[in-house]
């Protein structure tokens, strides 16, 4: 069976820099950063006290992930102008991790169980039932977001959730590409969402030593010392119908090395990039939208892999300096940036990067956006656990 080609028909986003992708892209092109001190909850004593938090209030939402992702999907569908009558052939593919109950609810449930080293089941049985009313069961499941979106758009094709840490969003888009290529659906509504500006997640990442103690996200900078948490959602509508941008290459790999550290030689991310280029039948690209988290090891590993794969010195950029790390949504955001570069010729700068690491010789976009003709762009997403995803987009004549 001959694989069908896959095209980007619509994009949408909700971020700390805008309620739409148009607003977000304009802010990124102007070099703005959303990183600021967290005010949603008390961060006194936290290893990192800043984040790129969405300006809206999702605290009262049953599922904050859906509150962020649904407006992004609506924006992407409006741009795509998809006929409402094709629901049988629509698929939904979402990168998401499990939602979390409020910290107050979790603490209350812990106390109901006795709060000690041993679980007091009798006490829990008495005190927990009324507390459960404050918890939304759907928020505890990664799969509920994709299912809720499928219901809202009446999608009756394949529905899939990918929960693969920082590679979730990119992997979900790769699944959507495969579904269209193999004829499982004609339209794939794909995306990723991250809602990790949350006391539990910020404390957890801090304990791992992954967050910036300086409170600055500066990918590939010699002074980088960790990432900054961000939150947002990005959506892409893919179709088999011809469009102006083709998603022409996907590559996936696994480091099989360590739960939190990438392979020291970058074998996994290199393999993913080479597979994506091979499927796209390309030897190089104009722009690499790097994973670029601002952690010392990840940036070094990715930069050296990029240097080995690309001999022509493409522009390299990362938006995590401006929007923080969306974790499950990060790869989907990278695809929007790549599509934007191909459509407009604007390559976003890497916010926070002022002193490039001399040991990582790349062609960085610094200070202000680069404007030039862009026909191809590659996106990287590298996850805790060692999963890597690379995607290639190109302009269509």
pLDDT tens, position by position, 82-93: 866 667 689 999
353-370 confidence digits (pLDDT tens): 999 999 998 999 999 999
Lowest mean pLDDT, pick from 101-110, 143-152, 244-253: 101-110
The residue ranking higher by pLDDT, 124 or 334, is 334
The answer for 163, left when phi > 0, alpha when psi is -120 to 50, beta otherwise, is beta
Cα–Cα distance measured from residue 67 to residue 315, given in angstroms and rounded to the nearest whole number:
34
Tokens standing for residue 265? 């030689």
- Rounded distance, CA 71 to CA 207, Å? 33
Beta strands at 346-347 and 370-371: parallel, antiparallel or unpaired: antiparallel
Q: Structure tokens of 243?
A: 């469009």
Residue 50 CA to residue 171 CA, distance in Å, equals: 28
User: Regarding predicted confidence, which is higher, 142 or 343?
Assistant: 343
Helix/strand/coil for 42: coil
State the chain's mean pLDDT as an integer. Answer: 91
Residue 60 has pLDDT above 80, yes or no: no
Q: How far apart are CA 73 and CA 95, in angstroms?
A: 13
User: Would you state the pLDDT for residue 186?
Assistant: 94
In this prediction, residue 274 carries a pLDDT of 98
Among residues 200, 208, 212, the alpha carbon closest in space to that of 51 is found at 212
Give yes or no for residue 233 having a pLDDT over 90.
Answer: yes
- Does domain 7-101+138-395 sit in CATH 3.20.20.150? no
Least confident of 8-17, 94-103, 235-244: 94-103
What stretch of H or E contains 333? Answer: helix 330-344
Active-site annotation holds for 166: yes
Q: What pLDDT, on the 0 to 100 scale, is given for residue 355?
A: 97
pLDDT tens-digit map of 371-395: 999 999 999 999 988 899 999 999 9
Mean pLDDT of 189-201: 93
3-state secondary structure of 10: strand
What is the reported pLDDT for 107? 72
By DSSP bridging, strand 50-51 and strand 376-382 are unpaired
111-149: pLDDT as tens digits: 888 877 788 888 888 888 877 766 666 666 778 899 999
3-class state of residue 393 by DSSP? strand
Q: CA-to-CA distance for 48 and 46, rounded, in angstroms?
A: 5
Helix or strand holding residue 176 (H, E):
helix 168-181
- pLDDT exceeds cutoff 90 at 109: no
- The per-residue pLDDT for 266 is 78
CA distance readout (Å), 203 to 197, 207, 296: 10, 6, 20
Q: Check residue 102 and give its pLDDT.
A: 60
* Catalytic site residue from 48, 58, 166, 190: 166
C-beta of residue 174 within 8 angstroms of C-beta of residue 389 = yes
| Stretch 7-24: mean pLDDT | 98
**In the predicted structure, residue 173 carries a pLDDT above the cut 70:** yes
Confidence of residue 335 (pLDDT cuts 50, 70, 90): very high
Which pLDDT does position 2 carry in this prediction? Answer: 77
Window from 5-14, 94-103, 236-245 with minimum mean pLDDT:
94-103
Domain range summary for the chain, segments of one domain joined by +: 7-101+138-395
Task: Give residue for tokens 């179709």.
Answer: 239
User: Is residue 8 over pLDDT 80?
Assistant: yes
Quick one: what percent of the chain has pLDDT higher than 70?
92
Which candidate in 190, 325, 364, 382 is catalytic? 325
Q: pLDDT, tens digit, for every residue of 273-308?
A: 999 999 999 999 999 999 999 999 999 999 999 999
Question: Which residue out of 291, 337, 364, 382 is catalytically annotated?
Answer: 291
- 291 is known as an active-site residue: yes
What pLDDT score does 237 carry?
Answer: 98
| pLDDT computed for residue 327 by the predictor | 96
Handedness of CA 384, 385, 386, 388 (dihedral sign): negative
Residue 153, φ and ψ in degrees, nearest 5: -105, 10
């Amino acid at each position: 069976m001959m694989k069908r080609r896959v095209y980007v028909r619509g994009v949408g986003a909700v971020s700390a820099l805008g309620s739409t992708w148009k607003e977000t892209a304009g802010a990124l092109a102007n070099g703005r950063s959303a990183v600021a001190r967290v005010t949603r909850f008390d961060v006194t004593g936290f290893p990192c006290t800043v984040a790129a938090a969405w300006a809206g209030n999702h605290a009262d939402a049953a599922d904050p992930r859906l509150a962020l992702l649904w407006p992004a999907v609506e924006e992407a569908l409006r741009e795509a102008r998809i006929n409402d009558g094709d629901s049988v052939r629509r698929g939904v593919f979402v990168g998401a991790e499990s939602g979390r109950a409020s910290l107050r609810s979790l603490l209350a449930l812990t106390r109901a169980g006795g709060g000690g080293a041993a679980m007091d089941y009798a006490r829990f049985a008495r005190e927990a039932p009324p507390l459960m009313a404050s918890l939304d069961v759907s928020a505890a499941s990664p799969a509920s977001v994709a299912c809720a979106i499928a219901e809202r758009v009446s999608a009756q094709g394949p529905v899939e959730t990918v929960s693969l840490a920082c590679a979730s969003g990119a992997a979900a888009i790769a699944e959507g590409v495969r579904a269209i290529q193999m004829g499982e659906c004609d339209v794939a509504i794909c995306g990723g969402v991250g809602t990790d500006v949350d006391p539990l997640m910020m404390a957890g990442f801090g304990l791992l030593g992954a967050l910036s103690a300086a409170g600055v996200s500066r990918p590939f900078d010699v002074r980088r010392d960790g990432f900054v948490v961000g939150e947002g959602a990005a959506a892409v509508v893919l179709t088999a119908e011809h469009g102006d941008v083709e998603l022409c290459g996907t590559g996936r790999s696994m480091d099989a090395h360590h739960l939190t550290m990438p392979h020291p030689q970058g074998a996994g991310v290199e393999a993913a990039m080479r597979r994506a280029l091979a499927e796209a039948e390309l030897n190089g690209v104009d722009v690499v939208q790097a994973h670029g988290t601002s952690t010392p090891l990840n940036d070094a590993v990715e930069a050296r892999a990029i240097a080995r794969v690309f001999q022509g010195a493409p522009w390299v950029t990362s938006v995590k300096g401006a929007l923080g790390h969306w974790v499950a949504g990060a790869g989907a955001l990278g695809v929007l940036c790549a599509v934007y570069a191909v459509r407009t010729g604007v390559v976003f700068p890497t916010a926070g990067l002022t002193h490039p690491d001399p040991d990582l010789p790349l062609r960085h976009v610094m200070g202000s956006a680069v404007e030039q003709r862009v026909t191809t762009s590659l996106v990287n997403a590298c996850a805790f656990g060692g999963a890597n995803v690379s995607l290639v987009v190109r302009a269509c004549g």
